[in-house]
Amino acid sequence: MSYTNALWWLALPILLLPIWWHRRKREQHKAELLATSRFLPRAEPRQVRAWSWRDLILLLVRCLMLAAAIAWLADPIMPRRGDTVIVATGTDPEWADAQVAQAGLAKADRIAMPAARTIAWLRAHQREWRPDARLLVLGDVPMLAQVPEFGRKIELRTLARQPENRERRVHVVSERPEQWRRVFAAAGIAIDEMPGARTSLIVWDRKDAPPASLRAPLWLVTDPALFPELAKAAQAEGLQDKLAYADSPRGRLWHSAAWPPTTVDAARALLDDWQRLHAGPPVYTAPSRVFEASASVRAPAPSGALRDMLMAALAALFVLERILTHARRR
Protein backbone atom coordinates (compact mmCIF):
# COMPACT_ATOMS: atom_id res chain seq x y z
CA MET A 1 0.00 0.00 0.00
CA SER A 2 1.12 3.57 -0.41
CA TYR A 3 2.84 5.40 2.42
CA THR A 4 -0.02 7.88 2.84
CA ASN A 5 -2.64 5.16 3.21
CA ALA A 6 -0.45 3.15 5.58
CA LEU A 7 -0.49 6.03 8.06
CA TRP A 8 -4.10 5.18 8.86
CA TRP A 9 -2.89 2.11 10.77
CA LEU A 10 -1.50 4.52 13.36
CA ALA A 11 -5.11 5.21 14.31
CA LEU A 12 -5.55 1.69 15.77
CA PRO A 13 -5.17 2.95 19.38
CA ILE A 14 -8.58 4.56 18.89
CA LEU A 15 -9.97 1.08 19.61
CA LEU A 16 -9.35 1.85 23.28
CA LEU A 17 -12.12 4.45 23.24
CA PRO A 18 -15.05 1.98 23.30
CA ILE A 19 -13.35 0.06 26.13
CA TRP A 20 -12.85 3.25 28.12
CA TRP A 21 -16.44 4.31 27.47
CA HIS A 22 -17.87 0.96 28.57
CA ARG A 23 -15.79 0.99 31.76
CA ARG A 24 -16.97 4.46 32.73
CA LYS A 25 -20.59 4.03 31.86
CA ARG A 26 -22.79 3.26 34.88
CA GLU A 27 -26.47 2.75 35.26
CA GLN A 28 -28.14 5.14 37.70
CA HIS A 29 -30.38 3.50 40.32
CA LYS A 30 -32.65 5.26 42.80
CA ALA A 31 -31.83 4.26 46.38
CA GLU A 32 -34.79 3.44 48.66
CA LEU A 33 -34.48 2.73 52.40
CA LEU A 34 -35.99 -0.46 53.77
CA ALA A 35 -37.85 -0.52 57.08
CA THR A 36 -35.60 -3.28 58.41
CA SER A 37 -32.39 -1.49 57.47
CA ARG A 38 -32.09 -0.07 61.01
CA PHE A 39 -31.24 -3.57 62.30
CA LEU A 40 -28.29 -3.86 59.88
CA PRO A 41 -24.80 -2.61 60.70
CA ARG A 42 -23.96 0.75 59.18
CA ALA A 43 -21.77 0.60 56.05
CA GLU A 44 -20.78 3.04 53.35
CA PRO A 45 -22.55 2.44 50.02
CA ARG A 46 -20.44 0.87 47.28
CA GLN A 47 -21.08 0.67 43.57
CA VAL A 48 -20.34 -2.65 41.92
CA ARG A 49 -19.81 -2.79 38.17
CA ALA A 50 -21.22 -5.89 36.59
CA TRP A 51 -20.76 -6.53 32.89
CA SER A 52 -23.31 -8.63 31.13
CA TRP A 53 -22.59 -10.74 28.08
CA ARG A 54 -24.69 -8.31 26.10
CA ASP A 55 -22.32 -5.48 26.98
CA LEU A 56 -19.29 -7.51 25.97
CA ILE A 57 -20.83 -8.33 22.60
CA LEU A 58 -21.68 -4.67 22.05
CA LEU A 59 -18.13 -3.67 22.95
CA LEU A 60 -16.72 -6.24 20.53
CA VAL A 61 -18.97 -5.03 17.71
CA ARG A 62 -17.94 -1.41 18.26
CA CYS A 63 -14.26 -2.31 18.26
CA LEU A 64 -14.67 -4.32 15.06
CA MET A 65 -16.55 -1.45 13.45
CA LEU A 66 -13.71 0.98 14.20
CA ALA A 67 -11.14 -1.54 12.97
CA ALA A 68 -13.07 -2.02 9.70
CA ALA A 69 -13.25 1.75 9.19
CA ILE A 70 -9.49 2.12 9.69
CA ALA A 71 -8.80 -0.81 7.34
CA TRP A 72 -11.05 0.76 4.69
CA LEU A 73 -9.08 4.00 4.89
CA ALA A 74 -5.74 2.16 4.82
CA ASP A 75 -6.86 0.11 1.78
CA PRO A 76 -4.78 -3.01 2.49
CA ILE A 77 -3.65 -5.47 -0.17
CA MET A 78 -3.96 -9.15 0.61
CA PRO A 79 -1.78 -11.52 -1.48
CA ARG A 80 -4.50 -14.05 -2.27
CA ARG A 81 -3.93 -14.95 -5.94
CA GLY A 82 -2.12 -18.10 -6.99
CA ASP A 83 -0.63 -19.20 -10.33
CA THR A 84 -2.18 -17.08 -13.07
CA VAL A 85 -2.08 -16.83 -16.85
CA ILE A 86 -3.06 -13.48 -18.36
CA VAL A 87 -4.17 -13.80 -21.98
CA ALA A 88 -4.46 -10.73 -24.18
CA THR A 89 -7.73 -10.37 -26.05
CA GLY A 90 -7.57 -11.77 -29.57
CA THR A 91 -4.78 -14.28 -28.87
CA ASP A 92 -4.90 -17.54 -30.82
CA PRO A 93 -6.48 -20.06 -28.37
CA GLU A 94 -4.47 -23.03 -29.66
CA TRP A 95 -1.19 -21.16 -29.31
CA ALA A 96 -2.17 -19.98 -25.82
CA ASP A 97 -3.07 -23.52 -24.70
CA ALA A 98 0.26 -24.82 -26.02
CA GLN A 99 2.20 -22.15 -24.13
CA VAL A 100 0.27 -22.82 -20.92
CA ALA A 101 0.93 -26.55 -21.16
CA GLN A 102 4.61 -25.95 -21.89
CA ALA A 103 4.91 -23.71 -18.82
CA GLY A 104 3.18 -26.28 -16.62
CA LEU A 105 0.33 -23.94 -15.72
CA ALA A 106 -2.61 -25.99 -16.96
CA LYS A 107 -4.41 -25.62 -13.62
CA ALA A 108 -3.63 -21.92 -13.21
CA ASP A 109 -6.30 -19.25 -13.21
CA ARG A 110 -6.80 -17.36 -16.46
CA ILE A 111 -7.54 -13.67 -16.87
CA ALA A 112 -8.45 -12.14 -20.24
CA MET A 113 -7.93 -8.43 -20.86
CA PRO A 114 -7.05 -6.02 -23.68
CA ALA A 115 -3.41 -6.25 -24.69
CA ALA A 116 -2.80 -2.52 -24.26
CA ARG A 117 -3.84 -2.66 -20.58
CA THR A 118 -1.92 -5.78 -19.58
CA ILE A 119 1.39 -4.31 -18.39
CA ALA A 120 -0.14 -1.32 -16.61
CA TRP A 121 -2.69 -3.55 -14.87
CA LEU A 122 0.03 -5.93 -13.70
CA ARG A 123 2.10 -3.11 -12.26
CA ALA A 124 -0.88 -1.85 -10.26
CA HIS A 125 -2.01 -5.29 -8.99
CA GLN A 126 1.27 -7.23 -8.69
CA ARG A 127 1.11 -7.35 -4.88
CA GLU A 128 -2.14 -9.32 -4.96
CA TRP A 129 -0.25 -12.54 -5.78
CA ARG A 130 1.30 -14.81 -3.20
CA PRO A 131 5.12 -14.89 -3.13
CA ASP A 132 5.25 -18.41 -4.58
CA ALA A 133 2.73 -17.71 -7.38
CA ARG A 134 3.81 -17.83 -11.03
CA LEU A 135 2.63 -15.29 -13.61
CA LEU A 136 2.57 -15.86 -17.35
CA VAL A 137 1.44 -13.22 -19.87
CA LEU A 138 0.47 -14.33 -23.38
CA GLY A 139 -0.57 -12.49 -26.52
CA ASP A 140 0.16 -9.55 -28.76
CA VAL A 141 1.32 -7.21 -25.99
CA PRO A 142 2.49 -3.86 -27.42
CA MET A 143 6.04 -2.67 -26.88
CA LEU A 144 6.44 0.13 -24.34
CA ALA A 145 8.77 3.10 -24.55
CA GLN A 146 10.57 1.95 -21.38
CA VAL A 147 11.14 -1.54 -20.06
CA PRO A 148 8.78 -1.98 -17.08
CA GLU A 149 10.03 -3.15 -13.71
CA PHE A 150 8.14 -5.41 -11.35
CA GLY A 151 8.57 -6.45 -7.77
CA ARG A 152 8.11 -10.10 -8.70
CA LYS A 153 9.08 -12.44 -11.54
CA ILE A 154 6.78 -12.29 -14.58
CA GLU A 155 7.20 -14.18 -17.85
CA LEU A 156 6.00 -12.61 -21.10
CA ARG A 157 5.45 -14.69 -24.23
CA THR A 158 4.20 -12.77 -27.24
CA LEU A 159 2.80 -13.68 -30.62
CA ALA A 160 2.24 -10.90 -33.12
CA ARG A 161 -1.16 -11.00 -34.76
CA GLN A 162 -1.56 -10.58 -38.46
CA PRO A 163 -2.03 -6.88 -39.20
CA GLU A 164 -5.51 -5.90 -40.18
CA ASN A 165 -5.93 -5.10 -43.83
CA ARG A 166 -7.23 -1.57 -43.59
CA GLU A 167 -8.26 -0.55 -47.04
CA ARG A 168 -8.07 3.18 -47.57
CA ARG A 169 -10.46 4.64 -50.10
CA VAL A 170 -10.62 8.27 -51.24
CA HIS A 171 -13.26 10.34 -52.96
CA VAL A 172 -11.96 13.44 -54.75
CA VAL A 173 -14.14 16.48 -55.42
CA SER A 174 -11.92 19.00 -57.18
CA GLU A 175 -11.54 21.16 -60.25
CA ARG A 176 -8.07 19.63 -60.63
CA PRO A 177 -8.80 15.97 -59.89
CA GLU A 178 -5.83 14.53 -61.77
CA GLN A 179 -3.40 16.33 -59.51
CA TRP A 180 -5.01 14.73 -56.46
CA ARG A 181 -5.38 11.33 -58.11
CA ARG A 182 -1.66 11.12 -58.75
CA VAL A 183 -0.99 11.66 -55.03
CA PHE A 184 -3.11 8.69 -53.95
CA ALA A 185 -2.51 6.42 -56.94
CA ALA A 186 1.22 6.37 -56.19
CA ALA A 187 0.46 4.87 -52.77
CA GLY A 188 -2.00 2.29 -54.13
CA ILE A 189 -5.02 3.97 -52.52
CA ALA A 190 -8.33 3.28 -54.25
CA ILE A 191 -10.28 6.20 -55.69
CA ASP A 192 -14.08 6.11 -55.30
CA GLU A 193 -16.07 7.74 -58.05
CA MET A 194 -18.95 8.14 -55.59
CA PRO A 195 -18.57 8.36 -51.80
CA GLY A 196 -19.86 5.41 -49.82
CA ALA A 197 -19.71 3.73 -46.43
CA ARG A 198 -16.19 2.45 -47.15
CA THR A 199 -14.82 5.86 -48.10
CA SER A 200 -12.28 6.89 -45.46
CA LEU A 201 -11.23 10.25 -46.91
CA ILE A 202 -12.90 12.99 -48.92
CA VAL A 203 -10.86 15.66 -50.68
CA TRP A 204 -12.90 18.84 -51.08
CA ASP A 205 -11.08 21.23 -53.39
CA ARG A 206 -13.88 23.43 -54.66
CA LYS A 207 -15.28 26.89 -53.98
CA ASP A 208 -18.79 25.73 -53.07
CA ALA A 209 -19.78 24.03 -49.82
CA PRO A 210 -20.39 20.27 -49.74
CA PRO A 211 -23.86 18.81 -49.12
CA ALA A 212 -24.75 18.56 -45.45
CA SER A 213 -25.48 14.84 -45.82
CA LEU A 214 -21.97 14.00 -47.04
CA ARG A 215 -19.99 12.14 -44.37
CA ALA A 216 -16.50 10.67 -44.04
CA PRO A 217 -14.10 10.02 -41.15
CA LEU A 218 -11.55 12.47 -42.59
CA TRP A 219 -11.67 15.46 -44.92
CA LEU A 220 -8.89 17.34 -46.69
CA VAL A 221 -10.17 20.82 -47.54
CA THR A 222 -8.43 23.64 -49.39
CA ASP A 223 -10.87 26.48 -48.62
CA PRO A 224 -11.43 26.83 -44.85
CA ALA A 225 -14.09 29.49 -45.39
CA LEU A 226 -16.53 26.75 -46.46
CA PHE A 227 -16.27 25.03 -43.07
CA PRO A 228 -17.10 27.25 -40.05
CA GLU A 229 -15.51 24.72 -37.68
CA LEU A 230 -12.06 25.62 -39.03
CA ALA A 231 -12.40 29.20 -37.77
CA LYS A 232 -11.21 28.00 -34.35
CA ALA A 233 -9.11 25.12 -35.56
CA ALA A 234 -6.24 23.69 -33.57
CA GLN A 235 -2.75 23.52 -35.06
CA ALA A 236 -0.61 20.46 -35.66
CA GLU A 237 2.90 20.18 -37.01
CA GLY A 238 2.97 18.43 -40.35
CA LEU A 239 6.10 17.07 -41.96
CA GLN A 240 6.32 20.06 -44.30
CA ASP A 241 3.73 22.57 -43.14
CA LYS A 242 1.42 23.42 -40.27
CA LEU A 243 -1.98 21.77 -40.41
CA ALA A 244 -5.24 23.08 -39.02
CA TYR A 245 -7.79 20.55 -37.86
CA ALA A 246 -11.24 20.56 -36.30
CA ASP A 247 -14.06 18.09 -35.68
CA SER A 248 -17.42 18.59 -37.33
CA PRO A 249 -20.65 16.62 -37.88
CA ARG A 250 -19.27 15.65 -41.30
CA GLY A 251 -16.05 14.22 -39.83
CA ARG A 252 -12.60 15.49 -38.91
CA LEU A 253 -11.44 18.38 -41.12
CA TRP A 254 -7.82 18.98 -42.11
CA HIS A 255 -6.57 22.06 -43.93
CA SER A 256 -3.24 23.23 -45.27
CA ALA A 257 -2.44 26.23 -47.43
CA ALA A 258 0.08 24.08 -49.36
CA TRP A 259 -2.54 21.72 -50.82
CA PRO A 260 -2.77 20.20 -53.33
CA PRO A 261 0.80 18.85 -53.28
CA THR A 262 2.90 19.90 -56.24
CA THR A 263 5.98 17.72 -55.69
CA VAL A 264 6.67 14.11 -54.89
CA ASP A 265 8.03 15.01 -51.46
CA ALA A 266 4.94 17.06 -50.66
CA ALA A 267 2.68 14.18 -51.69
CA ARG A 268 4.65 11.75 -49.54
CA ALA A 269 4.48 14.16 -46.60
CA LEU A 270 0.70 14.41 -46.95
CA LEU A 271 0.31 10.63 -46.86
CA ASP A 272 2.67 10.34 -43.89
CA ASP A 273 0.73 13.01 -42.02
CA TRP A 274 -2.47 11.10 -42.72
CA GLN A 275 -1.00 7.99 -41.14
CA ARG A 276 0.76 9.73 -38.25
CA LEU A 277 -1.90 12.22 -37.16
CA HIS A 278 -5.13 10.42 -37.96
CA ALA A 279 -4.58 6.65 -38.06
CA GLY A 280 -1.85 6.79 -35.41
CA PRO A 281 1.65 5.34 -35.39
CA PRO A 282 2.06 1.61 -35.96
CA VAL A 283 2.08 -0.57 -32.85
CA TYR A 284 4.92 -3.07 -32.48
CA THR A 285 4.73 -6.28 -30.49
CA ALA A 286 7.00 -6.53 -27.47
CA PRO A 287 9.60 -9.32 -27.56
CA SER A 288 9.19 -12.37 -25.35
CA ARG A 289 11.19 -12.08 -22.16
CA VAL A 290 11.26 -12.75 -18.43
CA PHE A 291 11.00 -9.81 -16.04
CA GLU A 292 13.04 -10.61 -12.97
CA ALA A 293 11.99 -9.24 -9.60
CA SER A 294 13.52 -5.85 -8.90
CA ALA A 295 14.18 -4.75 -5.33
CA SER A 296 14.16 -1.09 -6.34
CA VAL A 297 10.54 -1.07 -7.48
CA ARG A 298 8.38 1.25 -5.38
CA ALA A 299 5.20 -0.15 -3.94
CA PRO A 300 2.29 0.52 -6.32
CA ALA A 301 -0.69 2.57 -5.31
CA PRO A 302 -3.44 0.60 -3.53
CA SER A 303 -5.74 -1.12 -5.97
CA GLY A 304 -8.84 -1.04 -3.76
CA ALA A 305 -9.36 -4.79 -4.14
CA LEU A 306 -10.67 -5.21 -0.56
CA ARG A 307 -12.56 -1.95 -0.18
CA ASP A 308 -15.91 -3.34 -1.32
CA MET A 309 -15.72 -6.20 1.19
CA LEU A 310 -14.61 -3.86 3.97
CA MET A 311 -17.44 -1.45 3.22
CA ALA A 312 -19.98 -4.30 3.32
CA ALA A 313 -18.55 -5.49 6.65
CA LEU A 314 -18.63 -1.94 8.01
CA ALA A 315 -22.29 -1.52 7.05
CA ALA A 316 -23.23 -4.87 8.60
CA LEU A 317 -21.40 -4.04 11.84
CA PHE A 318 -23.08 -0.65 12.03
CA VAL A 319 -26.54 -2.22 11.71
CA LEU A 320 -25.67 -4.83 14.35
CA GLU A 321 -24.33 -2.15 16.70
CA ARG A 322 -27.57 -0.17 16.42
CA ILE A 323 -29.66 -3.27 17.13
CA LEU A 324 -27.62 -4.19 20.22
CA THR A 325 -27.67 -0.61 21.51
CA HIS A 326 -31.46 -0.44 21.16
CA ALA A 327 -31.90 -3.82 22.86
CA ARG A 328 -29.66 -2.75 25.76
CA ARG A 329 -31.80 0.30 26.48
CA ARG A 330 -35.00 -1.71 26.80
* pTM as predicted: 0.52
C-alpha dihedral sign at 148, 154, 159, 165: negative
- Greater confidence (200 vs 127) lies with 200
Looking at the chain, the whole-number percentage of residues with pLDDT higher than 70 is 79
Looking at the chain, the whole-number percentage of residues with pLDDT higher than 90 is 15
Q: CA 256 to CA 267: how far, in whole Å?
A: 13
Dihedrals φ, ψ of 90, to 5°? 90, 0
How do the domains of the chain map onto residue ranges? 1-24+51-77+302-330, 84-161+285-291, 169-279
Q: Which of 228, 165, 169, 225 is nearest to 194 (CA)?
A: 169
What pLDDT is attached to residue 1?
A: 44
**Would the pLDDT of 136 be above 70?**
yes
pLDDT, one tens digit per residue, over 21-78 is 776 655 555 556 666 666 667 666 665 555 555 578 888 888 888 888 887 777 766 6
Render the burial of 219-252: b for 16+ CB within 10 Å, e for the rest: bbbbebeebeebeebeeeebebeebbbbeeebbe
**Would the pLDDT of 186 be above 90?**
no
CB atoms within 10 A of CB 301: 13
pLDDT, one tens digit per residue, over 271-296 is 787 777 766 667 788 899 999 988 77
- Per residue, the 3-state secondary structure of the chain, as one string, reads CCHHHHHHHHHHHHHHHHHHHHHHCCCCCCCCCCHHHHHCCCCCCCCCCCCCHHHHHHHHHHHHHHHHHHHHHHCCCCCCECCEEEEECCCCHHHHHHHHHHHCCCCCEEEEECHHHHHHHHHHHHHHECCCCCEEEEECCECCCCCCCECCCEEEEECCCCCCCCCCEEEEEECCHHHHHHHHHCCCCEEECCCCCCCCEEEEECCCCCCCCCCCCEEEECCHHHCHHHHHCEEEECCCCEEEEEEECCEEEEECCCCCCCCHHHHHHHHHHHHHHHHCCCCCECCCEEECECCCCCCCCCCCCCHHHHHHHHHHHHHHHHHHHHHHHC
**Would the pLDDT of 257 be above 50?**
yes
Q: Of the ranges 148-157, 175-184, 321-330, which one carries the lowest mean pLDDT score?
A: 321-330
Across the range 123-135, mean pLDDT stands at: 85
Across the range 77-84, mean pLDDT stands at: 81
Q: Which of 43, 67, 52, 66 is nearest to 22 (CA)?
A: 52
Identity of the highest mean pLDDT range in 4-18, 39-53, 221-235, 287-301 = 221-235
